[in-house]
Amino acid sequence: MKFEVKVMNAEEVARSLLEKVDKSKLSEALQYCGELVANYAKQNHTFKNRTGNLQKSIHREAHDVAGVLEEWVIAGMPYASFVEFGTSRMSARPYLVPALEANRDTIVRVLSEAIK
Write down the pTM of the prediction.
0.81
* Distance separating alpha carbons of residues 57 and 68, to the nearest angstrom: 25
Determine contact, residues 77/57, Cβ cutoff 8 Å. Answer: yes
pLDDT in tens, 18-75: 677 788 898 999 999 999 999 999 999 989 889 999 999 999 999 988 878 889 999 9
Task: Output the pLDDT for position 73.
Answer: 96
User: What are the pLDDT digits (tens) for 76-89?
Assistant: 999 999 999 999 99
The Cβ-side half-sphere exposure at 60, using a 13 Å CA radius, reads 21
Sign for the pseudo-dihedral over CA of 111, 100, 64, 29: positive
Q: Which helix (H) or strand (E) holds 50?
A: none
pLDDT of residue 4: 63
DSSP 66: T
